[in-house]
Structure 1
Amino acid sequence: MHKVLILGGGIGGVAAAIALRKQGVAVELVSERDYLFIYPLAIWIPTGGAQFRDIGIPLSKLARKHGFSLTIDKVIALDSERKTVTLEKTGVRDSAAFVVIALGASKMKHDGIEHTTSICGKPEDSLVLKAKIEALIERGSGSIAFGFGGNPNDPSAVRGGPGFELFFNLHHHLTKLGIRERFEMTFFAPMAEPGARMGKRAFSAMAAMFEADNFTTRYGKKISRFEADGIVFEDQSRLKSDLCMFIPASDGHETVRRSNLPQNSAGFIRIDDYCRIEGVRGWYAVGDAAALEGPEWKAKQGHLAELMAHNAAVNASVEHFGRKEEMRGYQEHLNILCVMDMGDGAGFVYKNSKRELFIPMPVVGHWLKKSWGHYYKLSKLWL
């Protein structure tokens, strides 16, 4: 039986493992964590809307359900010339028929980043944020600053949506407690119009909600450094904060950067439309690890990682295992899709090259996103 080695136990890696097993291919999934953390659902942990234990799925359960083998280990080296993968505990692997790299990405480093906490960082950071929010509520008042950064070498590596969602959810939480007016809430970003890639309708609607909810903004100024009590911008202006949540832009995974894999200027792996790594036969890259090609507004999202994973599975089977089917490209399916949760409702956002939508969904939108979370977990464990 053909052997596939999948590197990474996130949304893309798990999707690839399941898709390949359905085709009867032997799969070994390598993951540094022993659980799949569902990042789109983590926005509710800091405000108590979800429990940490409910946001993950043990990879051992997924392995038993779908019949792939699981190795908990860290990838420390990749060699595209020798076709080898080196793991921290178990050493060199070179026997796989092909490899799918779904390692995700590293984060850009900012001076003083230790003074911030991210909802898109380590899973445990969501609990740190929860503790900080509870401490600030106990204190009774304060300044709250949420923001995200950009990567000038790859604009698609920005992840601002979860920051906006948590910001709205915290506002809703403080409002329910009857103490919202005691807190100054500011959103900051180095770009002049953060969120503009979602489309004009979504951006305009969000700006209106910011005004209605009495949020302040600090846009268009590059971040110089973070300090214990605030953010300093390039013009040396300061934004005071007792709580700072910041999502750094993604950067090429550190193991990829050290490798001889083809990379763009940000350290993401160069692939073709079929997710094949340029010049490395039998190796594929999906999700945040890969360099996307396409329109200027393109963005890396979980649903795109899943699509790329499914495509890589089909394309590998066509090229290497004799499956009779058309190869599948990801670029024609590029879009921005999200249900932006606000705690008491949501907004449906969709954009592709032909159209853009923003549909307000008071009340029901929140429960729609909650329902998606249940569906996602059930679909991986039972379907």
Structure 2
Amino acid sequence: MSYKKVVILGGGIAGVEAAIYYRKEGFDVELISERSYLFIYPIAIWIPVKTAHFDDVSFSLDKIAARHNFTLTIDRVVSINASEKTITLQEGGVRKASHLVIATGAAKVKHEGLEHTLSICGAPEQSVELKKKIDALIAKGFGKIAFGFGGNPNDPSGVRGGPGFELFFNLHHKLKKLGIRNNYEMTFFAPMISPGARMGEKALKLMATMFKKNNFKERYGKKIKRFEENSIIFEDDSVLESDLTMFIPAGNGMDLIKESDLQKNGAGFIRINNYCEIEGVEHWYAIGDVAALEGPDWKAKQGHIAEVMARNAAHNSAITLRLKSGEKKTYQDHINILCMMDMGNGAGFVYRDDKKALLIPMPIIGHWMKIGWGWYYKMSKMGYIPRIPGM
């Protein structure tokens, strides 16, 4: 196999970006994905509250592949062998992979009773199940709602709390519009004493003010012991009753990666250097949630970082193979936290880097900006509109 042929594993945000940019660098690209569509997780928060449909959030990989002229293979990767530079597919069998990009994402930390929860960051189908549960709870007319997220002490960068807060705020907005918000007890829970601390001190203060103003309850600083059908049990055996539990487990290494001979950190994420090159395996790269990130303590795995890593991998591959001249690009220089935290009737612009931490309230317009971003994401991926630098 020629090194100019690259195989990309994973049809998510990182994998799709890699496929597009490797094509721009002149590579022959094959993208292997278990799903036939790209699920745009940042805007999936609107499916459960019925301000977006599943089809609005899923985007055909066939269309993207045709637009950018890369090969799409729908199959499941069952094993990876770095020493032999092979991958094994469920349907396609053993394949040589001289030049490989791993963008398969992360698994989730397993909690006892997790089947009693639903996640907005889990399997795409769970967003529809959440919608059904919310509809049933609204039909009931009252109830207790508990949203939360967990941690991973082996790699805190895999914590993903933002979408949990966004859906929490959007559900509050929906119930308020229906005039029934006071019929529901809404509680947010997390094992950290200050969830959201990585956003910065100002953001924490604004969040605390928002929680108090909207009569949200908190259950922070207690590890989760287990989930039950209508409750969460914490390490001190205290109980939080819930008719609807939305929980985002922290990211953890996939069994596919843990069972491989790739170098991994304590959580099972692939060790890479600053150029996204996998340690000890020439011409193999790892990007996005599957990779072990290095950087400041507040670092977080986000879609825009995954895209930076994807573009850098393509660029660095071209440099390594002398398809073009220049310097390799690093991902750590681009680590920051960036999101538009939607609330249904507005949003908060969140940004953090080594020099500053911001949370800027943006009533009304912030919500429409996030809707606009969803449209922009699809159109720019298809090359119908120019890409805005940094977005």
TM-score category of the 2 structures, normalised to the smaller one: over 0.9
Q: Counterpart of 1:162 in structure 2: which amino acid?
A: P
How is 1:279-318 mapped onto 2 (pairs within 5 angstroms)? 279-318=280-319
- 1:253 and 1:92 map into 2 onto residues whose CA distance is 20
- Which residue of the partner structure matches residue 87 of structure 1? 89
- 2:58 equivalent in structure 1: 56
Counterparts of 1:223 and 1:303 in 2: how far apart (Å)? 30
Q: Structure 1 CA distance, aligned partners of 2:255 and 2:41? A: 21
Aligned residue type for 1:242: D
- Residues 82-116 of structure 1, C-alpha deviation per residue, up to 9 Å, x if partnerless? 0001111001110x441000000001110000000
- Specify the alignment match of 1:275 in structure 2: 276
Q: TM-score normalized by structure 2?
A: 0.97
Q: Note the alpha carbon deviations across 1:319-345, whole angstroms, 9 max, x for none.
A: 024310210000011000000000000
- Cα distance, 1:128 vs structure 2: 0.2
Aligned-partner Cα distance in 1 for 2:33–2:172: 35
The residue number in structure 2 matching 1:130 is: 131
CA distance in 2, matches of 1:32, 1:263: 23
Question: What one-letter code is carried by the residue in structure 1 that aligns with 2:20?
Answer: I
2:85–2:98 CA contact under 8 A, matched in 1? no
Secondary structure in 2 aligned to 1:171? helix
Q: How does the TM-score come out when normalised to structure 1?
A: 0.99
Q: Which amino acid aligns with 2:248?
A: I
Contact kept, 8 Å, 2:8 with 2:32, in 1: the verdict is: yes
Name the counterpart of 1:69.
71
Paired residue type of 1:213: N
One-letter amino acid matched to 1:27: V
Aligned partners of 2:79 and 2:87 also within 8 Å? yes
Tell me if 1:41 matches 2:43.
yes
User: For residue 321 of structure 2, what is the aligned residue in structure 1?
Assistant: 320
Q: How far did 1:358 drift?
A: 1.2
Deviation sequence 1:197-250 (CA, Å, 0-9, x none) = 011111111111011110000000000000011000000000000000000001
Q: Which residue does the alignment assign to 2:387?
A: none
> How many angstroms apart in 2 are the aligned matches of 1:73 and 1:131?
30
> For residues 340 and 105 of structure 1, what CA distance do their matches in structure 2 show?
22
The whole-number CA distance in structure 2 between the counterparts of 1:135 and 1:209 is 27
1:120 paired residue number: 121
**Equivalence map 1:86-165=2 (5 Å):** 86-94=88-96, 96-165=97-166
Match of 2:246 in 1: 245
CA distance in 2, matches of 1:160, 1:14: 24
1:170 aligns with 2:171: yes
Counterparts of 1:321 and 1:30, CA distance in 2: 26
Runs of 4+ off more than 3 Å = none
Letter matched to residue 104 of structure 1: G
Give the drift of 1:6.
Answer: 0.1
Q: Which residue of 1 aligns with 2:199?
A: 198
Counterpart contact for 2:348–2:362, Cα < 8 Å: yes
Q: Secondary structure at the match of 2:219?
A: strand
State the superposition RMSD in angstroms: 0.7
Q: Give, in whole Å, the separation in 2 of the partners of 1:380 and 1:86.
A: 29
The residue that corresponds to 1:21 in the other structure is 23
Task: State the shift of 1:177 in Å.
Answer: 0.2
Structure 1 residue corresponding to 2:9, chosen from 7, 10, 22: 7
Equivalent residue, structure 2, for 1:31: 33
Q: 2-side partners of 1:357 and 1:192: how far apart?
A: 20
Structure 1 distance, partners of 2:239, 2:36, is 41
User: What is the DSSP-based 3-state SS (H/G/I as helix, E as strand, rest coil) of the residue aligned with 1:104?
Assistant: coil
Structure 1's 256 and 266: CA in aligned 2 closer, same or farther, altered over 3 A? same
1:362 pairs with 2:378: no
Whole-Å separation in 1 of the counterparts to 2:60 and 2:148: 31
SS across alignment from 1:9 = coil
State the shift of 1:380 in Å.
Answer: 0.8
Q: Work out whether 1:348 is the aligned partner of 2:340.
A: no
Report the Cα distance in structure 1 between the residues aligned to 2:98 and 2:200, rounded to whole angstroms. Answer: 42
Identity of matched residues, %: 62
Deviation of 1:29 (Å): 0.2
Larger displacement relative to structure 2 (267-276 or 199-208): 199-208
Cα deviation, 1:246-297, whole Å, max 9, x if unaligned, reads 0000100110011000000000000000000001111000000000000000
Q: Is the 8 A contact 2:107 2:253 kept in 1?
A: yes
Letter in 1 for 2:180: I
> Match for residue 265 of structure 1?
266
**Structure 1: runs of 5+ lacking an equivalent:** none
